[in-house]
Chains A and B, each alone.
Chain A
Amino acid sequence: MLNKFSGIAALCVLLACSTNSRADDIQDANKLLKQGQTAQALEKVNAFLANKPKDAQARFLKGLIVNEQGNAAEAIQIFTALTDDYPELPEPYNNLAVLYASQGQYDKAKVSLEMAIRTHPSYATAHENLGDIYAKMASQAYDRALQLDKSNTATQTKLALIRDLFSKSARVAKPVATVVAAAPVTATPAATAPSVSPAASTPVAASGNTKDDVLKATRAWAAAWSAQDSAQYLSFYAPEFNTPNGMERAAWEAQRKERITKPASIEVTLAGTQVTARDAENASVSFNQNYHASHLKTSSHKTLVWVKHGTQWQIVEERSGK
């Protein structure tokens, strides 16, 4: 999975951030970005750029912000311009590669990463990402060779923009465990939350029949949701779950938790479930989902893609609509 998006801190190390006031402004904007207040962050960084339009650090941060806002095209423009103005910096190349990869433009991503590595041969993040790009390109070729099912999780782009914030070792040879991201923020409240749902004591253990097991897991997932047991609910999602719009896992979990616990009541019922089992470890379920909460009532068509990890079925993808 291509997930090493260079953060602002890494760049800061290289550029030896000059004045305190400047560092403050950038840090503030960075903090706002981390808190998900992208509009305010953008305002701050734009104000800064009005005075110093060439500033690499501010432009870099702006790239991160607009990308967070879902504007990948502008982010690509910003990082591309940075690579033109500061070809000696590997981070803009790296982030450019991540953005290209998220659009499925693996050839361009590969070239960007090679540039990053050329500028800094020991830039571990770029090496890791390059490995991931090769795996992606391999998946594409395998798809064409074997016409693999499009729901095949191995071939999906799962771009989680994880930033190794304040990791001082971004360019050092071996920070292979750069997946710091989720750990401190999330800390799933699984342990403390009392399990309300009678149906779902634990993500369902398998018993032989794939279709039955997946159906059981799907019902348990809906039950956990209805019981507003967010810990239980989130435990159905695999570590490699494809978060919507490539959202950071932690942010997504926080959002889900809020939406599940906030309403006074939730009732999720499923109708017309259809299970397609591709093999003993991969299956998908489609159904009409009726969501009835204290403040909102919706129904939609949904598909959950399940993968069996050990004895547990977990969700790797959740799609709405037909």
Chain B
Amino acid sequence: MPRTFYALLLGFCFASAALAEPASREMEAALAKSLQAVGNNHLDVALDEVNALLKSHPNFKLAQLVKGDLLMARAQQIKGFGSAANAPKDQLQDLRDEANARLQRVQQQQPVGIPQYLWKMDDAQRYAVVVDTSKATLYLFENVQGEPKYVTDFYISVGKKGTDKIIEGDKKTPLGVYFIDGHLNDAQLEDLYGNEAFTLDYPNEWDTRQGRNGKGIWLHGTPSDTYSRPPRASNGCVVLGNADLKQLGRHLQIGNTPIIITDQMRWSDAADQAERSELLAAIEQWRKDWASRDTETYLKHYAHDFAVGHTSFTEFAQQKRLVNSGKTWIKVQLAHLSVFPYPKQAGLVVVNFEQDYSSNNLSNRMHKRQYWVKRDGHWKIIYEGAA
């Protein structure tokens, strides 16, 4: 074979590595093929598939269970899924759930649209993550000139007790808009968390405002004795296979990549796009009104129940009136604007930007975060602060 061919081949592999399908997808496909072969009564095919799969990943417990059933079927009549004598019922149920989740993932089509949660990515945000807990799936989107483009997805596990975390220790995964704010490596972690972990900023400002608490919500890996965990397994974290997390991790930017966790994916449509335009216009109007020094008009952008910590809207308004009275000119510029609607809460949006503020007596730059809510058809700010 000519050398150039190898070179071309290698070059091609290298170029496509970033967008390569995760190896776990092949595993899942092989598992589904095996299960389908069982359904079609081709037990030999099913066993061959599952054996091939276990050769590379002997700690894929679900595949071991299927193998057990396929072998047992040759020895005796089997009862059904997981015919092991004395099998603990909860573990069997876990594996059955995993089989269902993975089969669904294989049988479902890839997402063709854009999630409703990615209205605007900051141009420095190269990727965004959306987790759909109902499908045990984490989707990765790339920011291609401002448009989110689907890259790939991974099987994940969430909290033992499901989602919508409220209090510490409830073993639930929070639903909301979060950001990666840290990384832990193998040496810093117990085996339970796999090879690495990315920490999330739960509880965020909205969670705190609602009295939600708890901490230590991470994206993390899988203990060394198992290839994957059942769909509901963690104490609230989002768990990926170690190889999957490694692949995903390459795309995550600490302090910048959004992780939006929903329990029901919604795809963007025309109505959603109209909402988006409306909010972007409202943000621009807020900026202009602030720069105009027309304080009362500016304050109309804030909700009556606006609050930052212990500061109420009344106190905030008084302070703004006082400050603005001393200004002869104000300039406000926004950069790196990102806009992420909240899952599960219609009309709540997280807005982040770099604010470049200058005036006759004060100038500063800051990273600001706002939560906007839609009240009576108008977008209002309910929280704002440094981020």
Q: Which residues of A contact B86 (CB under 8 A)?
A: 148, 152, 154, 278-279, 281-282
Interface residues of B in 366-384 (CB under 8 A from A): none
Check: B69 CB closer than 8 A to any chain A CB: yes
Are A154 and B84 closer than 8 Å at their CB atoms? Answer: yes
Interface residues of B in 79-130 (CB under 8 A from A): 82-88, 91-92, 95
Which of A130, A138, A282 has the most chain B CB atoms closer than 10 A to its own CB? A138
**Complex interface: stretch among A46-54, A139-147, A173-181, A261-269:** A139-147
- The dominant DSSP class at the A interface is helix
Q: Which residues of A contact B85 (CB under 8 A)?
A: 139, 152, 154
Q: A131-B76, A146-B61, A146-B65 are in contact. Are A141 and B87 (CB under 8 A)?
A: no
Mask, A126-168, CB within 8 Å of B = 1, is 0000111111011111101111100010100000000000000
Q: A138-B68, A141-B64, A141-B68 are in contact. Are A146 and B75 (CB under 8 A)?
A: no
State which of B63, B75, B82 has its C-beta within 8 Å of the C-beta of A131: B75
Q: A154-B84, A278-B86, A279-B86 are in contact. Are A145 and B95 (CB under 8 A)?
A: yes
Q: Which residues of B contact A142 (CB under 8 A)?
A: 64-65, 68, 72, 82, 84, 87
Interface residues of B in 28-84 (CB under 8 A from A): 58-59, 61-65, 67-72, 74-76, 82-84
Q: Which residues of B contact A146 (CB under 8 A)?
A: 61, 65, 82, 84, 87-88, 91-92, 95
Are B75 and A135 closer than 8 Å at their CB atoms? Answer: yes
When chains A and B are docked, how far (Å) is the Cα of A140 from the Cα of B62?
13
Interface residues of B in 224-246 (CB under 8 A from A): 225
- The dominant DSSP class at the B interface is helix
Are B64 and A138 closer than 8 Å at their CB atoms? Answer: no
Closest Cβ–Cβ distance, residue B68 to chain A (whole Å): 4
Q: Which residues of A contact B71 (CB under 8 A)?
A: 134-135, 137-138, 141
Q: A139-B84, A154-B85, A154-B86 are in contact. Are A145 and B75 (CB under 8 A)?
A: no
When chains A and B are docked, how far (Å) is the Cα of A142 from the Cα of B88?
11
State which of A133, A138, A145, A282 has its C-beta within 8 Å of the C-beta of B61: A145
Smallest CB-CB separation from A131: which chain B residue?
Answer: B75
When chains A and B are docked, how far (Å) is the Cα of A172 from the Cα of B285?
93
Q: Which residues of B contact A279 (CB under 8 A)?
A: 86
Residues of A within 8 A of B (CB): 130-135, 137-142, 144-148, 152, 154, 278-279, 281-282
A sample of 12 cross-chain residue pairs with beta-carbon separation below 8 angstroms, ordered by A number, consists of: A131-B76, A133-B75, A134-B72, A134-B75, A135-B71, A138-B69, A141-B68, A146-B87, A146-B91, A146-B95, A147-B225, A154-B85
Apart from A141-B64, A145-B64, list 11 A-B contacts with CB within 8 A.
A134-B72, A135-B71, A142-B72, A144-B59, A145-B62, A145-B68, A145-B82, A146-B84, A146-B95, A148-B86, A281-B86
Complex A-B, nearest 7 residue pairs according to Cβ-Cβ distance, in ascending order: A142-B84, A141-B68, A145-B65, A138-B72, A138-B71, A135-B75, A145-B64
